[in-house]
Amino acid sequence: MAKNTKTIWKMYSAWNYEKEIEDLNKLSEQGWQLVKGGLLHSKFKKESGVRFCYQLEYRDVEDMGRYIETFREQGWEYVNSTFNHWHYFRKAWDPALPEEAYEIFTDRESLREMSKGWIRVALIAIVLLAGFAVSRGIRMIDKPQLPTLVQLLALLLEIGLLLRGVLIMRNPDASRNRRHDSAVLTAILVVALFGAVAALPLTLLRPSFSTEQRASAVDEPIVDNRWVDFTVKYPDNYYLDLEMQAEKPMTFIIYNEAGETVYTRTESSFREEDIKLKLPVGTYSFSMSCETGFEIRCNLN
């Protein structure tokens, strides 16, 4: 038995909403009528005996009842609205009616007002995203790390996508029916969202901890006391905060799994933050050597 409902997963840009209208009209002609339109997917029901022409409008509506009634008086049936203020309407198709009968915007000023509403929201989003991007950019300059870079690139992609939309919507008389726009939009958003989401596991996979040792005196010299092991799961810049205090110079060393020294410091008094260590994948150990009482603290992130 053939299914009488189906869901189509497809994303349309706000500046190319005419393409969504075109696709809805084609599906209606094939007998698939819209039940619920959405940002990422839309649901349809098989009704072969009818045909509709669809329209969309972007508007932040306060009185939804009055809004729907206004369209009903003009012959439009309300279908549904999305959370981001896009509203779907349809009208029964009649081949005897002129094309203008299926247009919501009867003058250019109305179309410009719709475009301005979306542009205002987009500009607010761009400002917010730009603020986050600046903070991530400053962080990258101060402490370049892969999770921060991934976040920054994702934000720049999102900003670029919205800026493209704003530039197009500023000229509502120009054609927005760009071929392959939906595929490009989907690809960019998937990459941007993947980047935003990927930053969290990348952060969680980092060896991040604080540890310390101290002794008021030692019975005999401590030599190569390996007291902490940690694993680096992806190559990146890692940052060490180190503080040492002893009566005589003591030595702090980081070894890799091959026993090679990747960082060392010998001081009787030393304190420094954000020592950059460029570490490849592998297992590492903290080691210290001292002849007298000592205090040593280190943080890695």
* Residue 58 · residue 85 · CB < 8 Å: yes
Within 178-290, residue ranges assigned H as helices are: 181-204
Query: What are the respective helix, strand and coil percentages of the chain, to the nearest 5?
Result: 40, 35, 25
Q: How far is CA 296 from the centre of its chain?
A: 40
Backbone angles phi, psi at 199, to 5 degrees: -60, -35
What token pair was written down for 2? 């053939």
Query: Which tens digit of pLDDT belongs to each residue from 173-217?
Result: 555 545 556 666 777 777 777 777 788 899 999 998 899 999 999
Query: Which tens digit of pLDDT belongs to each residue from 8-60?
Result: 988 888 888 888 999 999 999 999 999 999 988 999 999 988 999 999 998 88
What token pair was written down for 279? 């570490």
Residues counted in the chain: 301
pLDDT category of residue 275 using cuts at 50, 70 and 90: very high
The helix/strand count (H/E) of the chain reads as: 5, 12
Cα–Cα dist 144/146, whole Å: 7
**pTM for this model (two decimals):** 0.73
Instruction: Give just the sign of the alpha carbon dihedral 173, 52, 91, 4.
Output: negative
Please give the pLDDT value at position 101. 82
Q: Which residue has the higher pLDDT, 232 or 60?
A: 232
Q: Assign 145 to helix, strand or coil.
A: coil
Instruction: Give just the sign of the alpha carbon dihedral 13, 16, 21, 27.
Output: negative
Query: Which tens digit of pLDDT belongs to each residue from 239-271?
Result: 999 999 999 999 999 999 999 999 999 999 999
Would you give the DSSP letter of residue 76? P
Q: Tell me the pairing of strands 5-9 and 261-279.
A: unpaired
- Burial of residue 289, with CB atoms counted within 10 A of its CB: 0-12 exposed, 13-18 middle, 19 or more buried: middle
